[in-house]
Amino acid sequence: MTTLRIDTPQDRNALSEFARFYDQVYETRDARWRGSARLEIAVAVGESPFNQDRALRPFVARVDGEIVARVLAVMDSRYNRHWHDQLGHLCWFEALPNTREAVRLLLDEACAWLKSQGAIAARIGHGMLEFPFVIDAYDSLPPNVLRQNPSYYHALLKEAGCETEKGFVDYKVAVQPELISRWESMLEAARRGGYDIVPLRDIPEARRVREFTATFNETFSAHWGWTPYSESELAALLHSLERIGILETSVVAYRGDEPVGMLLLVPEHSGDAVLKHGRVLSDEERLNILAIGVREPARGRGVNLAMSSYGFLELVRRGATYLSYTLVLDDNWPSRRTAEKLGAFVCANYVAYRRNFR
């Protein structure tokens, strides 16, 4: 007789199994990103900067002793203070096919724990180290950190009581000579307007993380679902990505000595992807990651376009033929118009889900 049970991994061996399950789900893919086992274990045992202000508990569903689904329940005090909310988060959800009952029980247990921590609902697909679920572009390799979830996830989540909460669009750019000229003009216009676009490598280390974190948090403070970063979180992120040149492509925009905007741009590093024999990535799959924000007093002055242009031109100098503007909320029309002005077009769609506790 088949046995189904829900467990909470606790020791390092069990947490390693929890982390490795990601690669088990995606091992059939022709092209995929490796799981972040070291980071996931560090978070699960409370040894990461991302543990600050967060209570969490991992859950796995087992059939005859083998993991068939997993999720990390997170009660994020920083998020709830920022939004005056009582929301829980369900992160790192993964599941094998044909696991409807297992996923339902898994989310029941995770939501029961969140409710015991004071949550009135749970979000899945946006939160701590969490990104939404793709709903159309299932076969291509997305920018790293974006989900490659299988199509069957949507049925599993809706069967488990989740409902669509928010939509996102993904944008990419095909590099053309006229766009390069446009970006050079946008960058020069901001400079003539008195704004300096400074790569992180040129900002003294003592100021870099402090100013970047403060600017990031202020510019995203009203962004749906946003959780403010701590300086230690962004310091760890920047340090981990220095090897691929993030300090050359990410910037802070200044008006005099005052930071007025920031661009986080992670260069493409498709060499880290896992490819099956014979699988060759197209140029359209060799994509960066981008996040951009401008403080209120500097909005409408082209600072957003200038920062993006700086980053794009740097990537083009490295040989990029396709670029990513990355995810934007469906209803974030200022950012969507920025993408269009930069020459970007919609290439994929994503959603985040919510489960209300009834």
Segment 298-340, tens digit of pLDDT: 999 999 999 999 999 999 999 999 999 999 999 999 999 999 9
On the question of pLDDT at 162 being above 80, the answer is yes
* E-strand stretches of the chain: 4-7, 31-32, 54-63, 66-76, 87-95, 121-124, 133-134, 163-174, 195-199, 251-255, 258-266, 274-275, 289-294, 322-329, 345-356
On the question of pLDDT at 239 being above 90, the answer is yes
pLDDT (0 to 100) of residue 206 = 85
Average pLDDT over residues 188-209: 96
Q: What is the C-alpha to C-alpha distance for residues 301 and 190, in angstroms, rounded to an integer?
A: 8
On the question of pLDDT at 1 being above 80, the answer is no
Exposed, middle or buried: residue 2 (CB in 10 Å: 0-12, 13-18, 19+)? exposed
On the question of pLDDT at 276 being above 80, the answer is yes
pLDDT digits (tens, 9 = 90+) for 69-127: 999 999 999 999 999 999 999 999 999 999 999 999 999 999 999 999 999 999 999 99
Exposed, middle or buried: residue 33 (CB in 10 Å: 0-12, 13-18, 19+)? buried
pLDDT digits (tens, 9 = 90+) for 294-308: 999 999 999 999 999
On the question of pLDDT at 2 being above 90, the answer is no
> Beta strand 54-63 with 345-356: parallel, antiparallel or unpaired?
unpaired
- Reported as half-sphere exposure (CB side, CA atoms, 13 A), residue 133 has a value of 28
pLDDT (0 to 100) of residue 205 = 87
* pTM of the predicted model as reported, rounded to 2 decimal places: 0.95
At 26, the pLDDT band (50, 70, 90 cuts) reads very high
How many Å separate Cα 136 from the centre of its chain?
18
The DSSP symbol for 342 reads: T
Q: What is the C-alpha to C-alpha distance for residues 127 and 327, in angstroms, rounded to an integer?
A: 14
Long-range own/partner contacts, residues 184-187 (CB < 8 A, 24 or more apart): 184/309, 184/313, 186/302, 186/305, 186/306, 186/308, 186/309, 187/306, 187/309, 187/310, 187/313
pLDDT (0 to 100) of residue 68 = 98
